[in-house]
């Protein structure tokens, strides 16, 4: 067994792509896509190692600062071993080698992850001391088969709460922008708590939220208790599929939770999307969250979840 640096050759990229596609056949990649990902990485140290057995590639590993997290000292590790060579200690060798190469003093936490149906990958990370910290899954609702009326009859009745599309409130409610900004801020502030969230100015909010190309006030529904705005849900078109909208943001004021408000908001929004001709709603998030449970009840089909994993290191990093 021989470990060496990944070189930028087509041969190394082809071997990596072959192993990735054997491992993740439902999300195939290409040499070009891998090269693009590498080119898009900021100019930071990014170690990549190759394991060869008898001159052919048996595994890869990479380790570098998880720049996308904005947490200095958190490094991301990924290891993949060719299916024919698994359970022979190769993955562990690559992992140890990556840590030996890495700038130990800079590393405080190792970050990695795996899809829950990759049993080997999950067990491997657990055996190295990683623990799960979050769980997110893609899910999809087929709008053609989704019966809004039948689902409404089967859902709790949240009266006296009323539901309106934002498009109609922009015509009938003079201070709609202020109310919408306020509701959106309350929902987001709770989502990021305990981090403080700056309240955007009206101009900022309009610029960042309303004036974007994918904002559609007919796909944004508001829940009202009398004249109080107490909840919202928003769908947005997706960048890569004209037939799909994505569940963008949903929130209900704390005192109104568990009364069926979010379910009713979603039923209205999905009805609008269906009427506009969209074929599906896609979502990404924790299947065990409140919204995940609502989606499951409404008939979303979930893919296996991605499990984010962490391993704290005793300082200085090993």
The Cα angle at residue 22 between residues 18 and 28, in degrees rounded to 5 = 75
**Stretch near ligand COA under the rule CB under 6 A, chosen from 79-87, 191-199, 208-216, 296-304:** 79-87
**Stretch near ligand COA under the rule CB under 6 A, chosen from 41-49, 116-124, 198-206, 243-251:** 116-124
Identify the sign of the CA torsion 201, 204, 207, 209.
negative
Cα–Cα distance for residue pair 124/57, rounded to 1 Å: 20
Q: Does 308 sit near ligand COA (CB under 6 A)?
A: no
Helix (H, G, I), strand (E, B) or coil at 81: strand
Q: Does 270 sit near ligand COA (CB under 6 A)?
A: no
Question: What are the φ/ψ torsions at residue 198 (nearest 5 degrees)?
Answer: -75, 135
Single out the residue of 6, 13, 75, 124 in contact with ligand COA (rule: CB under 6 A): 124
Helix (H, G, I), strand (E, B) or coil at 130: coil
**Stretch near ligand COA under the rule CB under 6 A, chosen from 123-131, 133-141, 164-172, 265-273:** 123-131
Q: Does 86 sit near ligand COA (CB under 6 A)?
A: yes
Single out the residue of 123, 154, 297, 318 in contact with ligand COA (rule: CB under 6 A): 123
Residue 211's alpha-carbon distances to 167, 205, 206, in angstroms, are: 14, 9, 6
Question: In the bound complex, which residue of the shown chain has the CB atom lying closest to ligand COA?
Answer: 121
Q: Rule CB under 6 A: which of 15-74 touch ligand COA?
A: 23
Closest to ligand COA by CB, 114 or 166: 114
Contacts of residue 91, defined as CB under 8 A and 6 or more positions apart, other chains included, come to 59, 79, 81, 124
Q: Does 127 sit near ligand COA (CB under 6 A)?
A: yes
Closest to ligand COA by CB, 1 or 151: 1
Cα–Cα distance for residue pair 253/191, rounded to 1 Å: 12
Q: How far is the CB of 15 from ligand COA (least distance, A)?
A: 13
Number of H helices, E strands in the chain: 10, 13
Q: How far is the CB of 285 from ligand COA (least distance, A)?
A: 21
CB 90 within 8 A of CB 51: yes
- Which residues bind to ligand COA, rule: CB under 6 A? 23, 78-81, 86-92, 112, 114, 118-121, 123-125, 127
């Amino acid at each position: 067994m021989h470990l060496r640096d990944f070189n930028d050759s087509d041969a190394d990229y082809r071997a990596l792509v072959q192993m990735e596609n054997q491992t993740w056949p439902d999300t195939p990649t290409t040499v070009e896509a891998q090269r693009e990902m590498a080119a898009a990485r900021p100019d930071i140290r990014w170690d990549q190692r190759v394991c060869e057995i008898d001159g052919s590639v048996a595994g890869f590993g990479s380790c570098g600062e998880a720049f996308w997290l904005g947490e200095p000292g958190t490094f991301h590790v990924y290891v993949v071993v060719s299916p024919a060579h698994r359970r022979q200690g190769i993955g562990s060798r690559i992992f140890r080698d990556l840590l030996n190469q890495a700038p130990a003093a800079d590393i405080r936490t190792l970050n990695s992850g795996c899809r829950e149906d990759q049993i080997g990958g999950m067990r491997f990370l657990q055996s190295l001391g990683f623990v799960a910290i979050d769980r997110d899954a893609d899910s999809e609702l087929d709008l053609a088969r989704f019966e809004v009326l039948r689902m409404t009859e089967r859902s709790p009745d949240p009266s006296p709460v009323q539901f309106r599309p934002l498009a109609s409130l922009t015509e009938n409610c003079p201070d709609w922008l202020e109310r919408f900004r306020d509701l959106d801020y309350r929902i987001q502030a709770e989502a990021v708590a305990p981090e403080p969230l700056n309240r955007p100015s009206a101009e900022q909010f309009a610029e960042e939220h309303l004036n974007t190309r994918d904002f559609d006030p007919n796909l944004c529904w508001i829940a009202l208790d009398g004249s109080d705005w107490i909840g919202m849900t928003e769908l947005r078109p997706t960048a890569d599929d004209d037939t799909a909208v994505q569940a963008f943001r949903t929130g209900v004021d704390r005192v109104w939770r568990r009364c069926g408000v979010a379910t009713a908001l979603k039923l209205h929004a999905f009805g609008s999307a269906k009427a506009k001709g969209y074929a599906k709603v896609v979502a990404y998030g924790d299947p065990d969250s409140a919204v995940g449970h609502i989606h499951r009840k409404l008939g979303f089909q979930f893919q296996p979840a991605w499990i984010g994993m962490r391993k704290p290191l005793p300082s200085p990093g090993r």
